[in-house]
Structure 1
Amino acid sequence: MMSGVLYKREMKASIRLLVIFGAVLTLYVSIIISMYDPELSALLDSYVELMPELMAAVGMTAGATTLIGFMCSYLYGFILLIFPMLFCILRGNALVAKYVEDHSMVSLVAAPVKRRTIALTQMLVLLTGTVILVGYSTILELVCGAWYFPGELDTAQLLTLNGGLLCLHLLIGGICFAASCLAPDTKYSVGFGAGVPILMYVIQMLANMGGKVENAKYFTFFTLFDPEGLVARESGALAGAALLGLGGLALYGLGAAAFCRKDLHI
């Protein structure tokens, strides 16, 4: 069971970040989708040709011939990865580790609420925020696609793609939540919860550049997120997304279990 009072309080604390990141996503998604035009696409492709390694590092590739392919190239290599990831990092640390460090966890565990209830509630807060951001992005893409290019955006393909995106952010959120529950203070929580996803993304950027560092892709979980493969419903891409989702749920469970056994020194 979850604590309704605690959930409402923490969701109120999430609103500011959700509004900020939602506004940023609105700006980027609407602009990128509106740029799906043969002439503008050619301009973007010219940038890719001029700076191939830099553009490849953030997942941007030339030659997209469909709207969903264009979105995969220019939204799913950076924009829709970074901003939900930042939300998970910031909120994940604040949900447990920050309470422990400033000793406000005393009031929570002193209340007639079991530890597992607190852990489940804080876990649901981060999960809810992640789902809201990915869900909002999906609705925004559908609306912008219908507004600018009626009938060109395949809804089923987009839902499959964003289902994989949600699985990726479940894993990132799980890392942040587990770090927050396991770490003795925010220094270690941020160091691990933020350090691991950011390091994995940097490794993915290096692998995208190709050459001698291409094999670095085998050392980052971002490789399991394959936008083009998800759009094509390739079995490997779907399996990769499933692994990300299951890994995320396992990490959330690990974090909750660790919190229930944590010595809070109170």
Structure 2
Amino acid sequence: MNVTLYKQMMKVNMKGFMNYAFGSAFYILLMFWLYPGLAKNTKAIDELVQSMPEGVGKAFGLNGFDSAEAFISGEYYGLILVLILSIVCVQLSTQLMAKLVDQGSMAYLLSTPTTRAKVAFTQASVLATGLFLIIAVTTIAGFAGNAWFLGGDFEFDTSTFIQMNAAAFLLFFAVGGISFLVSSLANDEKKALGISGLITFGFFSLDLLGKISANIDWMRSISIFSLYQPGEIVNGKDMAASSLLLFVIGFIAFGLAIVLFRKRDLPL
């Protein structure tokens, strides 16, 4: 790793990281604030959810309202956080690699006493660090929300909550790795952004459509988003195998990006 480059890129991107992190924290605190009022009408809301077509509840992660983590898993971790971190992965991976190549800044970096592999590894580390910071702030905000809004009046399983955050990080470690791979192979910023966005939101759409109808459930098998199931974590299902697979996908994608960037021809 090029430590000097890492510090500089973290400094450049820290404001963006914190904007997304505090935005995520705001939304999860909002969920905690809303839950006590909803919990008083749990039976009526559950009946309303059950009256919906099964695919709708499954698609949008409506996992019941009998516990705070069940509510948050569907209303926040199943959709809002997914959209926030998808945008982060697509935009940041493009800014860290393809944008620098497109603007000619990468040639300047490579003229210094460093190697392509070190530059790519450093940029990958910046992306992973940014994702970790956003998840860490979200997790801390969740514990604060539990203390402020739930107190001892409502049950909250901290172990399950931590598992949901770990699963979210691993999902976007994989998504970020794929986006970073695309960015490492592109010379044009807009093209990298478009391809990364198409892959990421294409995977998301396939998973969503597969949940809605059993007739097209096979679509989920080709989406890495199917490996991320916060509702199943709340229900006590062991997701260790899925989490490990997400880590492997991310590790391979980042590794390929570094290897291929080292070998490719760059425009002068």
TM-score of the alignment, normalized to the shorter chain, above 0.5: yes
**Letter of the 2:9 counterpart:** E
Q: Quick one: distance in 2 between partners of 1:226 and 1:102?
A: 39
Specify the SS of the correspondent of 1:35.
helix
**Letter of the 2:87 counterpart:** L
- TM-superposed CA distance for 1:172, in Å, is 0.7
Q: Quick one: distance in 1 between partners of 2:42 and 2:201?
A: 29
**Letter of the 1:166 counterpart:** F
**Letter of the 1:207 counterpart:** G
Distance 1:63 1:231, change over 3 A: closer
**Letter of the 1:71 counterpart:** I
Q: Quick one: distance in 2 between partners of 1:16 and 1:57?
A: 35
Matches within 5 A, 1:122-201: 122-151=123-152, 152-201=155-204
Q: 1:76 aligns to what?
A: 77
- TM-superposed CA distance for 1:40, in Å, is 5.6
Q: Quick one: distance in 1 between partners of 2:125 and 2:63?
A: 39
**Letter of the 2:127 counterpart:** L
Specify the SS of the correspondent of 1:105.
helix
Extract unaligned runs of 5+ from structure 2. none
Q: Is the 8 A contact 1:142 1:153 kept in 2?
A: no
The count of residues paired between Structure 1 and Structure 2 equals 264
**Letter of the 2:70 counterpart:** G
Q: Quick one: distance in 1 between partners of 2:119 and 2:242?
A: 31
Give CA deviations for 1:104-124 in whole Å, capped at 9, x if unaligned: 111100001111111111011
- Aligned to 1:229, which of 221, 227, 232? 232
Q: Quick one: distance in 1 between partners of 2:182 and 2:163?
A: 29
* Aligned sequence identity (%): 27
Distance 1:65 1:233, change over 3 A: closer
Distance 1:158 1:63, change over 3 A: closer
Q: 2:252 aligns to what?
A: 250
Could you tell me the TM-score, scaled by structure 2's length?
A: 0.90
Distance 1:117 1:170, change over 3 A: same
Q: Is the 8 A contact 1:174 1:248 kept in 2?
A: yes
Distance 1:98 1:77, change over 3 A: same
Q: Quick one: distance in 2 between partners of 1:66 and 1:58?
A: 20
**Letter of the 1:194 counterpart:** G
Q: 1:11 aligns to what?
A: 10
Distance 1:84 1:62, change over 3 A: closer
Could you tell me the TM-score, scaled by structure 1's length?
A: 0.90
Q: 2:28 aligns to what?
A: 29
Specify the SS of the correspondent of 2:60.
coil
- TM-superposed CA distance for 1:191, in Å, is 2.3
Q: 1:118 aligns to what?
A: 119
Q: 1:91 aligns to what?
A: 92
Q: 1:264 aligns to what?
A: 266
